[in-house]
């Protein structure tokens, strides 16, 4: 049963071949021993010390050979199985296969293969990290990521300057999220972040762009909006979070709030970086004042 469980991940034909190899290498010595014993024993079989000695000696030798055959087959097969499982995991997109590679033991001939699998896994992880950085979307929430929103903010500022139109920028942070995440773990807190993205979806226009900046911080570009209309917009977000962003803790429901900072071009800056820093600073000021607030005018 142990052998079959080890071979369960292999293709059917290869699995059958390996099982047959196990049987042959472990059973053939016993069959050979029976044959050898038959050459020395006359029929009808006579029970005497000489015959029993021959049978015992042959059977013990056969069993020893059978055990050695089994161990040899195990030493050859298990590393092949481990390498196959590791390669299959890698093909399925599971890049963390270090533990499986370490389990490929007992065959020096597979050392190069183990090294190659480890190298492929490391290169794939590095490539995936680069792709995620180049991607426009945050994987968890589906919102844009920080890199995209910064570049887009610069573009919107240039457009607003050219057409002499306003452009506002809002920076939001979920209050008390850090302590909640430490207490309940990433998976539970991740669901809360997804809920935050849904709140954005209820209020964004086709021209607005929302992004997740850090773990619990978000930003929104608000083209064609001055500070007054931006405040009206983020108030909807703030109330939407207070009404809909919640999580169960024990048997009770906990409501979450957001602190928000707002900046506007050209009043608070003429570059994306200036508006970004100004809105972020005002968000921190809103937190200091007690959270669940919108700050648009702090210096």
Quickly list DSSP for the chain: -HHHHHHTTS-HHHHHHHHHHHHHHHHHHHHHHHHHHHHHS-SS---SHHHHHHHHHHHHHHHHHHHHHHHHHHHHHHHHHHHHHHHHHHHTT----HHHHHT--S-GGGHHHHHHHHHHHHHHHHHHHHHHHH-SB-TTT-SEEHHHHHHHHHHHHHHHHHHT--EEEEEEEETTHHHHHHHH-HHHHHHHHHHHHHHHHHH--SS-EEEE-SSSEEEEEEET--HHHHHHHHHHHHHHHHHH-EEEETTEEEE--EEEEEEEETTT-SSHHHHHHHHHHHHHHHHHTTSS-EESS--
Cα 256 to Cα 176, 212, 253, 266, 292, distances in angstroms: 8, 17, 10, 32, 9
114, 201: one domain: no
Measured torsion, CA atoms of residues 120, 122, 125, 131, in degrees rounded to the nearest 10: -80
d(CA 46, CA 60): 20
d(CA 77, CA 18): 7
120, 217: one domain: no
267, 155: one domain: yes
pLDDT value for 58 = 67
Examine the fold and report which residue of 131, 164, 183 is the final residue of a domain before the chain moves on: 131
The pairing of strands 209-212 and 144-145 is parallel
180, 89: one domain: no
127, 149: one domain: no
Chain position carrying tokens 């057409």 = 163
127, 150: one domain: no
Total domains in the chain come to 2
Q: Is residue 89 part of a domain?
A: yes
82, 205: one domain: no
153, 24: one domain: no
151, 34: one domain: no
d(CA 105, CA 113): 12
Please list, in sequence order, all residues whose beta carbon lies within 8 angstroms of the beta carbon of residue 265, skipping any fewer than 6 positions away.
157, 160, 161, 166, 167, 168, 169, 275
Q: Is residue 209 part of a domain?
A: yes
Q: What is the pTM of this model?
A: 0.58
Best CA proximity match to 143, nearest among 83, 212, 189, 77: 212
Asked whether the beta carbons of 55 and 44 are under 8 A apart, the reply is no
173, 208: one domain: yes
Chain position carrying tokens 């029976």 = 34
Q: CA angle at residue 22 from 32 to 83, to 5 degrees? A: 150
Q: Is residue 187 part of a domain?
A: yes
pLDDT value for 105 = 54
**Residue 259 bridge partners (DSSP):** 173
CATH of the domain at 285: 3.30.70.270
215, 74: one domain: no
**Residue 294 bridge partners (DSSP):** 260
Radius of gyration, CA atoms only, the chain: 34
Structure tokens at 116: 């190659």
Q: Is residue 137 part of a domain?
A: no
pLDDT value for 265 = 94
pLDDT in tens, the chain (299 residues): 444 455 555 556 656 666 666 666 666 666 666 666 666 665 565 556 666 676 677 667 667 766 666 666 666 666 666 666 666 665 555 655 555 555 555 445 555 555 655 666 666 667 666 656 667 889 899 999 999 999 999 999 999 999 999 999 999 999 999 989 888 888 889 999 999 999 999 999 989 999 999 999 999 999 999 999 999 999 999 999 988 887 766 666 888 999 999 999 999 999 999 999 999 999 999 999 999 999 999 87
pLDDT value for 245 = 85
Q: Domain range for residue 273? A: 144-295
């Amino acid at each position: 049963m142990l052998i079959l469980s080890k071979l369960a991940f292999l293709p059917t034909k290869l699995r059958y071949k390996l099982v047959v190899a196990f049987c042959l290498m472990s059973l053939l010595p016993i069959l050979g021993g029976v044959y050898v014993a038959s050459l020395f024993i006359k029929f009808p079989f006579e029970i005497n010390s000489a015959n029993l000695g021959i049978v015992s000696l042959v059977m013990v030798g056969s069993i020893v050979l059978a055990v050695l055959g089994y161990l040899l087959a195990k030493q050859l097969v298990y590393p092949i199985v481990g390498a196959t499982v590791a390669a299959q995991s890698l093909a399925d997109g599971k890049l963390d296969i270090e533990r499986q590679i370490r389990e490929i033991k007992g065959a020096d001939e597979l050392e190069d293969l183990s090294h190659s699998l480890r190298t492929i896994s490391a290169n794939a992880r590095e490539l995936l990290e680069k792709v995620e950085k180049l991607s426009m979307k945050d994987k968890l929430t589906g919102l844009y990521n920080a890199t995209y929103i910064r570049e887009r903010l610069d573009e919107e500022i240039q457009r607003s300057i050219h057409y002499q139109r306003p452009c506002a920028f809002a920076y939001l942070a979920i209050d008390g999220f850090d302590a909640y995440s430490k207490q309940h773990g990433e998976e539970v807190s991740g669901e809360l972040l997804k809920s935050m993205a849904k709140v954005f979806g209820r209020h964004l226009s086709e021209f607005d762009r929302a992004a997740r900046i850090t773990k619990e911080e978000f930003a929104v570009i608000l083209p064609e909006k001055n500070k007054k209309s931006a405040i009206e917009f983020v108030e909807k977000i703030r109330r939407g979070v207070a009404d809909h962003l919640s999580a169960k803790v024990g048997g009770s429901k906990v409501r979450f709030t957001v602190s928000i900072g707002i900046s506007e071009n050209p009043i608070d800056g003429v570059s994306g970086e200036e508006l970004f820093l100004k809105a972020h600073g005002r968000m921190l000021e809103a937190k200091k004042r007690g959270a669940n607030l919108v700050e648009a005018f702090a210096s």
